[in-house]
Amino acid sequence: MDTEEQIKEIEDEIKNTKYNKATQHHIGRLKAKLARLKEQSEKKSGGKGKTFAIKKSGNATVGLIGFPSVGKSTLLNKITDAHSQIGEYDFTTLDIVPGIMKYKGANIQILDMPGMIKDASKGKGRGKEIISVIRTVDLIIMMVDVFHPEQLNILLRELHDAGIRLNSKSPDIVIRKKERDGIRVNSTLKLTKLDEKMIKNILNEYGCINANIVIRENINEDRLIDFLSKNRAYIHGFVVLNKIDLADKGVIKKCSEKLKTENIPISADKGVNLDMLKEKIYKKLDFIRIYMRHDGKTDYDEPMIVKKNSNVGMVCNSIHRDFRKKFRYAYIWGKSALYPGQMVGLNHVLKDEDVLTLVLER
């Protein structure tokens, strides 16, 4: 039996087994096995086939996904400098088209992805290639047709099956492997969703026999498996409802309520709510502003825009490749400084509105 057949068999078994006290440990183990097999199958197919070569640029990258013809390319053309082909038939956009949106001093790269369809994560419609790019973005926008709110569940499922965990943090767990003594579980709070036996079963499935594990949230088996899997990506995302120019208020409201994910109604074609959308993208990306100071003068007009929790080294990188090589030290004023004009190195983590002077080798 090849890997794909094994995956199918286990998926069927999970679907057909009633979850109760008697079966829960077995199901937990099956889920872990399934995650392992999927990892293997991904590794195998990873080498084959074309991948999209997307050059990242700008201060952050946003992936725009959705069914064919929901209006992704129309939106990209409206809010960025790109010229993506727009079609009245499906699958106009066969490659990923990047565009840059300039907003509040930030250059935000937006990727118009080929239409996502059901089973993309299994490789349909170049799904695997698309997904490998989505994993690397900073924010995901899911575009849904206002008359088809059901599209969202399919997109969410595809992302989930591809190991992308939307709007959640990586599990708060620490594992330390050791030589013997089996698995010892410590938790800082009461675990109500899984017991020690389940934890051990799942760890064993991942080849972990001797380890101390510290769990700091009330996890279930799925979160534990997420933690142990290597291919998980934790990314923020929200929904845009497009083509609201065609719908009356009642339809829009109903659609918006139906979606449990945060959403914003727009018309890409007629340009409705696009400023609101830009502001939301900017806010979600969580940028900070760094004012550069040279020769005793601070440039307050054009801050450097970098991602939250960036350090001095990352700022160097975003100015010029050579800056990091030539870096000697930096001076810092503002919220991240212990005192004004503190001398710091490349690893110093910056805060919003810090003032920074870089001292380089000549």
- Tally of residues, the chain: 362
The per-residue DSSP string of 282-335 comes to HHHHTEEEEEEEETTEE--SS-EEEETT-BHHHHHHHH-HHHHHHEEEEEEEST
Other beta carbons within 10 angstroms of residue 121's beta carbon come to 21
Question: What tokens appear for 328 in the block?
Answer: 């000697």
Given candidates 69, 80, 263, 310, which one binds ligand GDP under the rule CB under 6 A? 69
Separation in Å, CA 154 to CA 5, 162, 242, 294: 23, 12, 17, 51
**Is residue 126 near ligand GDP by the rule CB under 6 A?**
no
Question: What tokens appear for 98 in the block?
Answer: 């990047």
Given candidates 14, 86, 191, 314, which one binds ligand GDP under the rule CB under 6 A? 86
Rounded-to-integer distance, Cα 126 and Cα 182, Å = 43
Q: Going residue by residue from 102 to 121, which x/- string records binding to ligand GDP, judged by CB under 6 A?
A: -------------x------
Given candidates 59, 61, 80, 93, which one binds ligand GDP under the rule CB under 6 A? 93
Q: How far is the CB of 96 from Mg ion (least distance, A)?
A: 10
Q: What is the DSSP letter of 266?
A: -
Q: How far is the CB of 277 from ligand GDP (least distance, A)?
A: 12
Residue 69 interacts, among Mg ion, ligand GDP, none and using kind-specific CB cut-offs from 5 to 8 Å, with ligand GDP
3-state helix, strand, coil in the chain (%, to 5): 35, 25, 40
- Kindly identify the residues of this chain, within the stretch 210-269, that bind ligand GDP according to CB under 6 A: 242-243, 245-246, 267-269
Q: Which stretch binds Mg ion (CB under 5 A): 8-16, 85-93, 159-167, 304-312?
A: 85-93
Residue closer to Mg ion, measured from CB, 112 or 205:
112
Residue closer to Mg ion, measured from CB, 59 or 73:
73
**Is residue 70 near ligand GDP by the rule CB under 6 A?**
yes
Residue 278 interacts, among Mg ion, ligand GDP, none and using kind-specific CB cut-offs from 5 to 8 Å, with none
The residue among 230, 229, 192, 225 whose CA lies nearest residue 14 is 225
Question: What tokens appear for 252 in the block?
Answer: 């829009």
Q: How far is the CB of 219 from ligand GDP (least distance, A)?
A: 37
Residue 269 interacts, among ligand GDP, Mg ion, none and using kind-specific CB cut-offs from 5 to 8 Å, with ligand GDP
Residue 295, classified by CB atoms within 10 Å of its CB into exposed (0-12), middle (13-18) or buried (19+), is exposed
Given candidates 33, 58, 62, 73, which one binds ligand GDP under the rule CB under 6 A? 73
How big is the site for ligand GDP, counted in residues (CB under 6 A)?
22
Residue with tokens 């009642």: 250
Residue closer to ligand GDP, measured from CB, 245 or 275:
245
The β-bridge partners of 311 are 349
Write the CB contacts of 45 (distance below 8 Å, at least 6 apart in sequence): 123, 128
Rounded-to-integer distance, Cα 198 and Cα 192, Å = 12
Q: Which stretch binds ligand GDP (CB under 6 A): 24-32, 66-74, 163-171, 339-347?
A: 66-74
Other beta carbons within 10 angstroms of residue 47's beta carbon come to 6
**Is residue 77 near Mg ion by the rule CB under 5 A?**
no
**Is residue 150 near ligand GDP by the rule CB under 6 A?**
no
Residue with CB nearest ligand GDP? Answer: 71
**Residues near ligand GDP (CB under 6 A):** 66, 68-74, 86-88, 92-93, 115, 242-243, 245-246, 267-270
**Residues near Mg ion (CB under 5 A):** 72-73, 92-93
